[in-house]
Structure 1
Amino acid sequence: MSLYCGIACRRKSFWYFRLLSTYVTKTRYLFELKEDDDACKKAQQTGAFYLFHSLAPLLQKSGHQYQAPRHSLLELESLLAKFGQDIQRIEDSVLIGCSEQHEAWFALDLGLNSSSSINASLQKPEMETELKGSFTELRKAVFQLNTKDASLLTTAQALLRWHDAHQFCSRSGQPTKKNMAGSKRVCPSNKIIYYPQMAPVVITLVSDGTQCLLARQSSFPKGMYSALAGFCDIGESLEEAVRREVAEEVGLEVERLQYSASQHWPFPNSSLMIACHATVHPGQTEVSSDASLGYVFPLLHPQWSVGTFLVQHCLHYTKMCNMGFVPFRSLQSYKGSNLHENSEHPHNYHSSLYVSQSCDYFSAVLN
């Protein structure tokens, strides 16, 4: 018996370290491509490219889902030549990942012009016809993509947007130059290096231990509710940001909080959504806010949103509130619309998951 257990443990350890080794080698390979322009250019020879036009990815409809087609370097060069473009435009691409077999993945926007580009943007209709797809707004399509494509395309869009907005040095005013992988930009005149950044945002589900709180603004469409969220201020810790946001928005004092999960969110700019559960004293039942308070349980799979993760986790322990801390009513199912995620203005309840009454997924009914 002990011999059998020993063999089983060794096998488990073997597969664990093999998995770890795959992750480590993949991570180090990506690091090499980011630091070595020649290695990155060589990787493009056997890599695959995802195409964008003005930050909208090229997608192809397949039933009720979208698929993101990939193109080889030869296919991309042929496409550019057909539309009278210099293949040097490929240098505007950014590295977004690689496979376990070290096939590098890149993203290239054919509708944006870099400061160093000599080519005009390509016309969208002609490109769509040639590529047999459509350049679709990512925010509308992200929930109809598989997990891999959704992750790659949101990363790609965030990087492409950052490069489009940071083409000039803030100190000298001179054009900056991206490295081959797109992991940084350098000002040639003063050698200042700029790296892509994300803004930290706290998104918090507040509870008194038996019930939890969502809020809405008067500007929200009917049926939309949100967890509390906002940007972290300079000099704040995560804990301080949560306590401040809850105090500012609903006039409650947080007794304790617990980190739950985090997620990159690219809309409209790159944010790092940091999800927390916050507990207030059970006696704090009076909410001080101009916003109406209500309840909703968005039951989308947690892989898509940390906002969803927070609420789903709380399903096991809490009840929702309506006009403050009161018991929730039953959950019902609705079909026929879209899931919405509003993160354009994280302050004043604008950066968390919400669900309309006609959502494709389960939601609470607001009578």
Structure 2
Amino acid sequence: MRRAEQVTFGGSALDRAGELRADAEAVHRAKTDPAARGLLFWRGKPLVNIARPAFLVRLGMDHPVLSDTRLPPILLGRESGAPRFAFDISHWTPPDLHTETLGAFTDTSEQCHPLLEDGQVFAELRRVMPWLDARDAELAATGKALLAWHDSHGFCAACGTRSEMTQAGWQRVCPSCKAGHFPRTDPVAIMLITHGNSVLMGRSPGWPDGMYSLLAGFVEPGESLEAAVRREVFEEAGVRVGQVDYLASQPWPFPASLMLGCSGTALGRELTVDPVEIEDALWISREDMADIFAGLHPVILPARKGAIAHFLLANWLADTLN
């Protein structure tokens, strides 16, 4: 797919500075580089300047808010040779915090730390991702995914001892049994399944009213991507799929997936929805999808901008998948 790397969270060609991670002295020099900057996160939310278009805030390494973090900074990479680090202040509790919608699809809340400037807020990444440029989106996704991994993998999977961060945040090592652990990424197949002039869409329970998307599911151990596409579509919607082709991928840090976008040709249109898997499925014609994207459909909302489902559907509508 010619436009594959135009999908959100990919294609910025970030220099990840992998050669520095095992060199403690080099990492220290990177932290003290006058051009180094810190990117701040709170409970998975990146610090952004909320002006339209929003952009990721880069703080000087001596900014006082960075001294309140409890996890060592994580080396994300370099921009034009300048180091970039992720910092986390999730232990901070904003005043009047309402936790009911934090991290949800509909989280529009913003949190502002008293040491930060007006307009600099922590915002849900799924909300602001359409506004970020490619570099900001990749940095935000990388930082969010790594911090979530450290938060959920603090103990050795081999012996249960609390592990320690090494490799500038890209590894955890057990001080007891010496086992090394690395950030995980879970492969997920997301499928643009077509039959004639129509595309297959579905919705999960609990999604906002009117929200439909492409079918998706995790790739299982020992399974090829193509087999996962055929299995997931049949399990969720009862549709058999023939030819399957890979289109594009998208890092999806909610919390740690790699979305593998595929196209597939359905062998029939009859639907048998598994209510355990999804709430509803339906075929949508190209003409109706054009109305959905234009906001003219009476029931169905357009796919979320920034998500690979929106990217694949937009290219299907424009006949630019190849």
Same fold (TM over 0.5): yes
Please state if 1:161 is matched with 2:148. Answer: yes
State the percentage of identical aligned residues.
35
Please state if 1:274 is matched with 2:253. Answer: no
Instruction: Give SS of 1:52's match.
Output: strand
Pairs within 5 Å for 1:194-273: 194-217=181-204, 219-267=206-254, 269-273=255-259
Provide the residue aligned with 1:58 in structure 2.
47
Provide the residue aligned with 2:114 in structure 1.
129
The partner residue of 1:103 within 53, 78, 82 is 82
Instruction: Give SS of 1:242's match.
Output: helix
Distance in structure 1 (CA, Å) of the matches to 2:39 and 2:207: 35
Please state if 1:67 is matched with 2:67. Answer: no
The Cα offsets for residues 121-178 of structure 1, whole Å up to 9 and x where unpaired, read as: 3444597121122222222222232332122111101101101111111222211111
Distance in structure 2 (CA, Å) of the matches to 1:52 and 1:218: 29
Q: Output the amino acid matched with 1:168.
A: F
Instruction: Give SS of 1:153's match.
Output: helix
Aligned CA distance change for structure 1 residues 59 and 217 (closer, same or farther; 3 Å): closer
Distance in structure 2 (CA, Å) of the matches to 1:90 and 1:74: 16
The partner residue of 2:314 within 295, 312, 315 is 312
Contact map agreement 1:302 1:309 (CA 8 A) in 2:
no
Q: Unaligned 5+ residue runs, structure 2?
A: 1-12, 96-110, 275-279, 294-301
Structure scoring higher RCO (CA < 8 A, sep ≥ 6) equals 2
Q: TM-score, normalised by structure 2?
A: 0.75
Q: Unaligned 5+ residue runs, structure 1?
A: 1-22, 112-120, 319-367
Pairs within 5 Å for 1:320-335: none
**Shift in Å at residue 72 of structure 1?**
1.9
**Shift in Å at residue 256 of structure 1?**
0.5
Provide the residue aligned with 1:289 in structure 2.
273
Provide the residue aligned with 1:337 in structure 2.
none
Contact map agreement 2:113 2:121 (CA 8 A) in 1:
yes
Q: Output the amino acid matched with 2:180.
A: I
**Shift in Å at residue 79 of structure 1?**
4.0
**Shift in Å at residue 180 of structure 1?**
4.8
How many residues are paired up? 271
Provide the residue aligned with 2:5 in structure 1.
none
Distance in structure 1 (CA, Å) of the matches to 2:196 and 2:281: 21
Contact map agreement 1:217 1:292 (CA 8 A) in 2:
no
The Cα offsets for residues 44-70 of structure 1, whole Å up to 9 and x where unpaired, read as: 1121101122222222222x3323221
RMSD: 2.8
**Shift in Å at residue 292 of structure 1?**
4.2
Aligned CA distance change for structure 1 residues 301 and 247 (closer, same or farther; 3 Å): closer
Contact map agreement 2:66 2:87 (CA 8 A) in 1:
no
Aligned CA distance change for structure 1 residues 223 and 55 (closer, same or farther; 3 Å): closer
Distance in structure 2 (CA, Å) of the matches to 1:200 and 1:224: 23
Contact map agreement 1:60 1:66 (CA 8 A) in 2:
yes
Contact map agreement 2:237 2:281 (CA 8 A) in 1:
no
Distance in structure 2 (CA, Å) of the matches to 1:50 and 1:90: 15
Provide the residue aligned with 1:6 in structure 2.
none
Distance in structure 2 (CA, Å) of the matches to 1:217 and 1:184: 34
Distance in structure 1 (CA, Å) of the matches to 2:303 and 2:37: 29
Aligned CA distance change for structure 1 residues 171 and 312 (closer, same or farther; 3 Å): same
The Cα offsets for residues 335-367 of structure 1, whole Å up to 9 and x where unpaired, read as: xxxxxxxxxxxxxxxxxxxxxxxxxxxxxxxxx
Larger fraction in helix: 1
Computing the radius of gyration from Cα coordinates, the structure with the larger value is: 1
**Shift in Å at residue 191 of structure 1?**
1.1
